[in-house]
Amino acid sequence: MAVGAGDRTVVLVHGYSDHGGTWQKVIPTLAERYRVLAVDLPGFGRSSGYWREPLIDGYVEALADLVADEPEPVSVIGNSLGSVTALAFASQRPDLVANVVLSDMPGVTGIPRTWTRGTQLRLDRITRLLTAPLPDRYLQQMMGAVYAGLALRHPLRADAAVRAGYSEHYATRQQVSNLLAIGTVVIREIADLPIPRMLDELTVPALLLWGENDLLTPAKAARRVTVTADRAVAVIPSCGHCPQLDCPSEFLAEVLPFLAR
């Protein structure tokens, strides 16, 4: 998706299991100021049919290809896995990146326990559904409900359109099985990345932010980040793992001044 016509370009990178539509509540405002590119990472959304390992290196290559013809370095805004991707991209290709926004990024204090325990309980439930004699539409509805419950402090803010936009990519058992397979790879690769060191060595300005009530990447990780002239930290009150959907106005209130610096 490409919208807006500003002189500068902002690239939006979604998280695990998500898709470019996760930015729908903030794209209109961003597009008033910038040219906005919202991607579907390989393995997700419209790109779900193809992915390869190593995942994150492949994502970095995809972003580099996407912005190769941009006249100026771009701003990259990531959420969750998208933040890890944005950090890796800025670390490997600082010549292509002006600044990064890293929203609810895992790995600052290691892999969050909820990724390997609490989330696994929900994934186990989904796995059982894969073998149950239920219509695929029931599984699809379940995926939308799980997404809203995990990603948002206020699940009702994921309205029918948001849930449908997410769950349409999980309309079959095979699509959900592929998601679980990618999840195993994602956790392993993030665990192998030296994310605190990558942050310390980052040469482009960065804004790190968390939702105060993030269940997947707890906001206490913000205390581990050293604030510098080029590294800002913010925690959005009463907000979950996907601030762009849960608290879009508050998200933009942090992001827009940073991008305008």
What are the pLDDT tens digits along the chain (261 aa)?
Answer: 889 988 999 999 999 999 999 999 999 999 999 999 999 999 999 887 778 899 999 999 999 999 999 999 999 999 999 999 999 999 999 999 999 999 999 999 987 766 666 445 555 666 665 566 666 777 788 788 888 998 999 998 988 889 989 989 888 878 887 888 898 899 999 999 999 999 999 999 999 999 999 999 999 999 999 999 999 999 999 999 999 999 999 999 999 999 999
Residues 6+ apart with CB under 8 A from 118: 215
Compute CA 251 distance to the chain's CA centroid, rounded to the nearest angstrom: 14
Going by DSSP bridges, is the β-strand pair 231-236/206-211 parallel, antiparallel, or unpaired?
Answer: parallel
Indicate the SS3 state at residue 34: coil
Going by DSSP bridges, is the β-strand pair 74-79/9-13 parallel, antiparallel, or unpaired?
Answer: parallel
In the CATH scheme, what architecture does the domain 2-260 have? 3-Layer(aba) Sandwich (3.40)
Residues 6+ apart with CB under 8 A from 133: none
The per-residue pLDDT for 114 is: 66
The per-residue pLDDT for 30 is: 98
The per-residue pLDDT for 129 is: 58
Angle between helices 136-151 and 160-167 (to 10 degrees): 120
The per-residue pLDDT for 237 is: 98
Q: Please give the Cα distance from 89 to 184 (Å, whole number).
A: 21
> In this structure, what token pair is assigned to residue 79?
């959420």
Q: What's phi and psi for 58, nearest 5 deg?
A: -65, -40
First to last CA, the chain: 25
Q: Please give the Cα distance from 80 to 78 (Å, whole number).
A: 7
Going by DSSP bridges, is the β-strand pair 35-39/9-13 parallel, antiparallel, or unpaired?
Answer: parallel
The per-residue pLDDT for 51 is: 84
The per-residue pLDDT for 118 is: 46
Q: Which residues face 76 on adjacent strands? A: 11, 100
Query: Which of 118, 80, 30, 100 shows the shortest CA–CA distance to 210?
Result: 80
54 upstream amide cis, omega within 30 of 0: yes
Going by DSSP bridges, is the β-strand pair 2-3/35-39 parallel, antiparallel, or unpaired?
Answer: antiparallel
Query: Which of 259, 256, 221, 238 shows the shortest CA–CA distance to 104?
Result: 221
Taking residue 28's Cβ as centre, other Cβ atoms within 10 Å add up to 13
